Structure 1
Amino acid sequence: MTMTWKTPSRGTGSGLIGKLAQANIDEVAPVDDEVIVVRDDDPASAPVRQRLTAGTLLRVREVTRAEELAALTAGGRTRAVVLCRSGLSLGTLHDAVAVVRQACPDTALIVLDDQAGEARHEVARHAGADGLINLAQDWKVVGEAVLAAAERRARARAVGDAIASRSDTDLLGALEGEWPLALLVVAVNNLETLAGRYAHGDRDALILSLAIRLRPLLRPSDTMARTADRSLVIARNDGDELAIAALADRLLRACREPLVVTEESVPITIAVGIAIGARPAVATGPAAAAVLEKARAALGRLRNRGRAAYELADAALQARVTAQRQTEIALRHAIDEHEFRVFYQPVVELQSRGLTSFEALMRWQRPQVGLFDAASFVEAAQRSGLMTRIGQTILHEAAAEALRWASTGSTPPALSVNLSQQEYLQPTLVAGVDRILAEIGLPPGRLILEVPLKLLERDPLSARSILRDLASLGLTLVADDYDGELTDDLRQLPLRMVKLRMGLLDGIESNAERRARVAGIAAQVRAAGWLCVGKGVETAAQAAILRDLGCYGGQGFLFSGARPAEELDIFQNAAGVWAWAPQPRPVPEV
């Protein structure tokens, strides 16, 4: 039976941002909002990330210097900044808060302090903080405070966005340099009738209430404006139609509950017209104006139908969004009907030919269609928020299979499982892995988790905290797709092994430059005290070169492709020892 685990929902006090964060756990389109922690680089403050992640259910990134904030917040996804410094005097506290506020003037800022006192609260607020919380507070309370501060900031900004209408000329002038540009034009269906029935005819009050409702769903970097036709125009610097469609979905869901306008509850539906434009190759006029015109045309087609919906102006993009929705429906069905299968590919120790581990690789067995490898559906699973649930299913099944590999007198192979980006950033990652191991009874020492190198390099301080939490369970951590220099940040991670990027071994038999590159990487890895495994080993010559360069293991079609569990006994000899031996290749029929 497939098992899934969810973090309990938080209370209703978290507002829309809190509900967005909960949506990550509830398997809807994931939200990439984040909280940035500015903290001391010492083990004592490391638990802040884990606890804030649990308290907010948002991705938490960490920096040690306020100077790094400007670059991180420029991406527009930062909901709040949390300053965590210990032992500060009042004057130093004021200066530290002021520096952070200067780096991110429009972002919610909460201070976590190890001292108490009303004076510290007043000093922090004077320097620009939205609040100060003692570190001794419960982390759910801290999380609620961070989300509430972000919500207040968003709602206050909404008033500025929509209290007065903005001309097209003014709006388009501000957007002309933003490419790629996505514009969403949001209109209330039957606005005149609703305003007359519920809001004393005050259409502007209804639009302002809608703006306050929707603004927390937007990134801080998004533009929102009320235009003369009493619609809201939302602009985002993004050309990904699937991400924009997911945003439109969230806007529609946010309007399922009535608005409160002049103390009356007003049930509304909205229509959203969407257009996306790339930077024009040749400047022939105000390109942003053309994008806005297309978005309004798409809205016009929707308003004639009078229902809650969104539509993209470009038919090809709309078709891609529709295809993504159909794939998402199929993936949900696949989870419920247990259509995912686990195949296993061996990793072989090059010196002894002993079999050290099996990497679990997921496949999708679609009835009446065929077997699909992960590359064909991972992107759709990530976008729909299902990757974490699929990953838990794979780990659960593979861990149960790994228990069967134990045999008397032989060391059983370890189980190696890949972490996707969505799983890696999931607030419940460590607790979920621990729970599955405990339920299945697999010793943590027999589990290897592979994390893509790009995730570790993107945010080294957070990676150190996440991997430290995982390593505390007793499992082995691997940097996957390794191809480059061993930086000081990577050396500080609790890794035991690296796997070379697929394709790095191509031509290594005859290409001296390629061989020298792999030799340099292998030497760096050995110097760090880690093991090195080559992926994509297809020939005996490649395996011999890796062995001579000091690489520990190899994985690839030379040893075996991915096999279902029922075929793994070919790697176990009569004495029950797990090892690799060349298999006779089938002779083609004449």
Structure 2
Amino acid sequence: MDEGEGHRVIELKASSYFVGRDPTNAIVLESKDVSRQHAIFLRLTSTNPNDYSFLLIDGNLQGTASSNGTKVNAEPCLSTRLGHGDQIRFGCQAKANYFILDPLTDQEFQDYCEGRGYEDLLTEVHNARGTIIIDHPQQPNFEAASLVRLASFPEIIPSPMFEVNLRGELTYLNPAAMQDFPNLHSLGLDHPVMQGLMALIKQSSHNILSREVEIAGKVFEQSIHYISESSLVRCCLFDVTQRKHAESELLKRDHLLQSVAKSTAHLLTNVDYETAISKALATFGEVAGVDRICVVENHLQAESLLASLRFEWRRDAVSSVRGTSHRQQQPYNNSYLQRWLPILANGGIIRDSVRALPELERQQLVQDDILSLMVVPIIVSGSFWGFIELDSCVEEHRWSAQEESIVSTLATSISAALQRQYKDEIIQLQAFHDALTGLPNRILFTDRLNLSLAEARRSQHSLAVMFMDLDRFKTINDTLGHSAGDALLQEVANRVKHCLRESDTVARWGGDEFTLLLPNIDHVEDATRTAQRILEAFREVIPLEGHDIYVNTSIGIAFYPADGKEAETLLKNADVALYQAKERGRGIYQLYNRVMNSEASEQFVLRNGLRHALDRQELLLHYQPQVDLLSGRFIGIEALLRWQHPEKGLIPPATFIPLAEETGLIIEIGEWVLRTACQQAVEWQQEGLQPLSIAVNLSARQFYEPNLVEMIADILQETQLDPSSLELEITESTAIKNIDVTQGILAQIQAMGVRIAMDDFGTGYSSLNYLTQLPLDTLKIDRAFIQNLWSEAKELEIIHAVIALGRALDLTVIAEGIDNTEQLDLLRSLNCPIVQGYLTGRPSPANELRGVLQANWQQHCPSAEVELALQTFS
């Protein structure tokens, strides 16, 4: 190249050269008449990578021509393919000669140029042998705007491009194709980018096609253009390896997410969590491409945390590890799991190839043919429950972050299933088991009995049903308190369970009653031997809160099919046999027979009916007035419980109240009585009747309920009854059972403004000391003294003493059970202030008593007071 003041020799090897005055050009020309970007050299390649020449373009890539033009062989040039010996002039001064030489290395070219003058070089170049002469087609003549398209010319694009004729002969390769496919020229049609290419062109009706080819682990998208007018096929290839890998990862992720969704569906919809987890692992394992999935559960043993494999899914070709010793009851503190515990317990994840793990872990895991694994913790209710382990056994797998996240999601779903299972188990336990003893309750017992009956009918075997209860349990419960009674029931349940077979069932029926089911027995003796074992178990003392307690139990036995073929019949007959055992002395067992007295059967019917009486609205209240003897005026009303049985009519309290006490129904019934009586008192007051106090009895069992005071306060608040209008009655035996506790309860009730009455006074201890200690307002003389009252009876002096005692202690005295005028006259003579009985007012329903109350008030109260009250409550 001659620039006027000197010359340079430049070897053209790159794909493009920019020529101009600007110092950023590859070839910088110093002449002032040369533009900043004057021209471009573009490399053109043939099918032989060593054969190439250059295209000369005037101006820049934006289509702007040079200021002073470019000439080739003295002819103005916009663009031309250069040939050997061409003379080039840039502007007016800078000129160059273009030569095509045999390929030389950089060192050879340097040696060639050193020590030679420019003229000598020209001479040698002209005389050079082996110079590559390329036949040039008709020279293209580009317009200025066309130069823009040259920016994407095949020679400078990074994607491989080639042309081939229909005979499979390569006619052109660009530099990128030579670099990426160096053996394309030698392999020809055997190269992957050429294989099947001609057949594809012939079979297709389109000129533009595309396909994917894989070469040396890379994936290329091959765009194929068949140029029919020149019978050439032009191909351009784009490396889509990363995209295909990303698509593959996305597809795998989607499949994994779908499998997790299906697995979660199994875990959420399947009631049996073991089946759910097994299905979830199988669903996930098939998609995840792993060879084995294990779910390991933690458990404590002697205060050590152990891990045991609970669930396993594996491919058919992979061996099971569930039965191996190193997979069961493995301690975390001194096994290959020691390093895992702090990682997993803190929510961390372990994923690695086995060969990269510590020696102890590697030794254990190699036994299971594991090459790589991922371990994800399962956290249940904030605690480390166990872990899920994915094993690759055929080839080593590198776990991705996406896979780790998806497996964590699966672990969370398993955790949710386990939490649901725990809740279901608690609900199941609460619904079908007794909260105190943990035994099945009557619902579960009845269900098992029905199932056993169905099996007995199929197999033609017998079964036995037993009813048992504790003798005088109420005395122990009342004497030592409810906590001692509860502890006793728990010990009873434990002793009975140890007397039964594994297939037998013992349930707590209610209170101190238990039922037993002995399925699949062949002889009566099978049941009687069990009953005898139970009786003998209770001959040993029961230590209870510092006391040695001896408890007897009575048992009644009924057999299928002899004593009944339905569950209800068998239970009823076993209960009848139980009452017969009690009548014969207690502490024994009794077999049912048809001639047993009807009283026991009657008790069974009543007890079962009482359980539904409240729901069926068979219970009702009658009200009996309390009369001031001096004025004849009603000063109070006592609420008395009655049972209107649908078949047996009105049943007196003395018959069913003991049954309610035994079964514990008295708690629910007592609350209903108190609420109903308070509502009725308010209703009478709102109707304008005189404001009378309402008296309600509290049973012994109800009195010692922990929430008694709260329940009374709630009912007063709910009904809006003035506390001073309520009087609660407790019996003397109830009051003195635990004097300290009684004092506290009565003080809280009295503090609300409620009055306290001691009922049945004189039938218990009648201790003056108790009377002075308890906060009482009223003494009620028991009807037992009134029934035998006549002018010369000893009871006359007792009543007189009680009345005097009441005055001395400032207590109101009421005599109960006044049935005739002689009793009334004697009480009047003793100055008894208030009486209550059939003579002065029979117990009546509220609607019948309303008129009596109105008439009594109008008779004994001034008319102005009545009018004022009517105006007040209207």
TM-score (normalised: structure 1) = 0.50
> Percent identity over the alignment?
25
Tell me how far apart the structure 2 counterparts of residues 22 and 447 of structure 1 sit (CA, whole Å).
41
Structure 2 residue ranges without an equivalent (≥5): 1-425, 444-467, 514-528, 540-549, 558-573, 862-874
Report the AA paired with residue 436 of structure 2: K
- How far did residue 541 of structure 1 move? 3.8
User: Where does 1:384-423 land on structure 2 (aligned, <5 Å)?
Assistant: 384-406=663-685, 411-423=690-702
Q: What is residue 812 of structure 2 aligned with on the other side?
A: 531
Matched residue of 1:186: which SS?
coil
Match of 1:492 among 773, 776, 783: 773
Tell me how far apart the structure 1 counterparts of residues 632 and 438 of structure 2 sit (CA, whole Å).
47
- How far did residue 335 of structure 1 move? 1.0
Cα distance change of structure 1 residues 338 and 508 upon mapping to structure 2, 3 Å threshold: same
Tell me how far apart the structure 2 counterparts of residues 438 and 350 of structure 1 sit (CA, whole Å).
33
Query: Alpha carbon RMSD of aligned pairs, Å?
Result: 5.1
Is this contact kept in 1: 2:643–2:651, CA < 8 A? yes
Cα distance change of structure 1 residues 502 and 325 upon mapping to structure 2, 3 Å threshold: same
Matched residue of 2:684: which SS?
coil
Report the AA paired with residue 555 of structure 1: Q
Report the AA paired with residue 805 of structure 2: Q
Tell me how far apart the structure 1 counterparts of residues 610 and 475 of structure 2 sit (CA, whole Å).
30
Report the AA paired with residue 842 of structure 2: G
Cα distance change of structure 1 residues 454 and 578 upon mapping to structure 2, 3 Å threshold: farther
Tell me how far apart the structure 2 counterparts of residues 356 and 326 of structure 1 sit (CA, whole Å).
39
Q: What is residue 363 of structure 1 aligned with on the other side?
A: 642
Tell me how far apart the structure 2 counterparts of residues 578 and 245 of structure 1 sit (CA, whole Å).
59
Tell me how far apart the structure 2 counterparts of residues 529 and 496 of structure 1 sit (CA, whole Å).
8
Tell me how far apart the structure 2 counterparts of residues 317 and 466 of structure 1 sit (CA, whole Å).
45
Check if 1:475 corresponds to 2:475: no
Match of 1:79 among 484, 487, 500: 484
Q: What is residue 188 of structure 1 aligned with on the other side?
A: 501
Cα distance change of structure 1 residues 388 and 79 upon mapping to structure 2, 3 Å threshold: closer
Cα distance change of structure 1 residues 554 and 509 upon mapping to structure 2, 3 Å threshold: same
- How far did residue 78 of structure 1 move? 6.7
Tell me how far apart the structure 2 counterparts of residues 326 and 185 of structure 1 sit (CA, whole Å).
31
Is this contact kept in 1: 2:681–2:721, CA < 8 A? yes
User: Where does 1:30-109 land on structure 2 (aligned, <5 Å)?
Assistant: 79=484
Tell me how far apart the structure 2 counterparts of residues 406 and 514 of structure 1 sit (CA, whole Å).
38
Check if 1:353 corresponds to 2:632: yes
Check if 1:501 corresponds to 2:782: yes
- How far did residue 540 of structure 1 move? 3.4
Using CA pairs below 8 Å that are at least 6 residues apart, which structure has the higher relative contact order?
A: 1
Report the AA paired with residue 832 of structure 2: C
Larger fraction in strand = 2
Tell me how far apart the structure 2 counterparts of residues 538 and 399 of structure 1 sit (CA, whole Å).
27
Tell me how far apart the structure 1 counterparts of residues 775 and 735 of structure 2 sit (CA, whole Å).
11
Is this contact kept in 2: 1:537–1:557, CA < 8 A? yes
Tell me how far apart the structure 2 counterparts of residues 22 and 432 of structure 1 sit (CA, whole Å).
29
Is this contact kept in 2: 1:355–1:578, CA < 8 A? no
Q: What is residue 436 of structure 2 aligned with on the other side?
A: 19
Matched residue of 2:736: which SS?
helix
- How far did residue 532 of structure 1 move? 0.7
Cα distance change of structure 1 residues 461 and 574 upon mapping to structure 2, 3 Å threshold: closer
Check if 1:519 corresponds to 2:822: no
Q: What is residue 132 of structure 2 aligned with on the other side?
A: none
After superposition, the C-alpha distances for 1:346-394 in whole angstroms (9 at most, x for unaligned) are 0001112121111111111222432222122112222222112112222
Q: What is residue 466 of structure 1 aligned with on the other side?
A: 745
Check if 1:550 corresponds to 2:550: no
Cα distance change of structure 1 residues 512 and 408 upon mapping to structure 2, 3 Å threshold: same
Is this contact kept in 1: 2:629–2:828, CA < 8 A? yes
Report the AA paired with residue 642 of structure 2: R
- How far did residue 337 of structure 1 move? 1.3
User: Where does 1:124-273 land on structure 2 (aligned, <5 Å)?
Assistant: 186-188=499-501, 190=503, 233-235=536-538, 241=554
Tell me how far apart the structure 1 counterparts of residues 651 and 744 of structure 2 sit (CA, whole Å).
35
Tell me how far apart the structure 2 counterparts of residues 507 and 218 of structure 1 sit (CA, whole Å).
38
Matched residue of 1:359: which SS?
strand
- How far did residue 574 of structure 1 move? 6.4
Tell me how far apart the structure 1 counterparts of residues 439 and 623 of structure 2 sit (CA, whole Å).
33
Match of 1:381 among 632, 642, 660: 660
Tell me how far apart the structure 2 counterparts of residues 549 and 21 of structure 1 sit (CA, whole Å).
58
- How far did residue 458 of structure 1 move? 2.7
Is this contact kept in 2: 1:445–1:474, CA < 8 A? yes
Report the AA paired with residue 538 of structure 2: A
Tell me how far apart the structure 1 counterparts of residues 641 and 650 of structure 2 sit (CA, whole Å).
10
Tell me how far apart the structure 2 counterparts of residues 218 and 539 of structure 1 sit (CA, whole Å).
42
Tell me how far apart the structure 1 counterparts of residues 652 and 582 of structure 2 sit (CA, whole Å).
33
After superposition, the C-alpha distances for 1:161-214 in whole angstroms (9 at most, x for unaligned) are 8xxxxxxxxxxxxxxxxxxxxx999321558xxxxxxxxxxxxxxxxxx99x99
Is this contact kept in 1: 2:723–2:752, CA < 8 A? yes
Cα distance change of structure 1 residues 345 and 239 upon mapping to structure 2, 3 Å threshold: farther
Tell me how far apart the structure 2 counterparts of residues 420 and 578 of structure 1 sit (CA, whole Å).
36
Is this contact kept in 2: 1:239–1:277, CA < 8 A? no
- How far did residue 404 of structure 1 move? 2.1
Matched residue of 2:637: which SS?
strand
- Rg larger in 1 or in 2? 2
Check if 1:429 corresponds to 2:834: no
- How far did residue 338 of structure 1 move? 0.7
Tell me how far apart the structure 2 counterparts of residues 21 and 416 of structure 1 sit (CA, whole Å).
39
Matched residue of 2:784: which SS?
coil
Q: What is residue 313 of structure 1 aligned with on the other side?
A: 591
Is this contact kept in 2: 1:457–1:490, CA < 8 A? no
Cα distance change of structure 1 residues 279 and 78 upon mapping to structure 2, 3 Å threshold: farther
Matched residue of 2:669: which SS?
helix
Tell me how far apart the structure 2 counterparts of residues 21 and 406 of structure 1 sit (CA, whole Å).
48
Cα distance change of structure 1 residues 318 and 424 upon mapping to structure 2, 3 Å threshold: farther
Report the AA paired with residue 591 of structure 2: A
Tell me how far apart the structure 2 counterparts of residues 406 and 18 of structure 1 sit (CA, whole Å).
43
Report the AA paired with residue 339 of structure 1: E
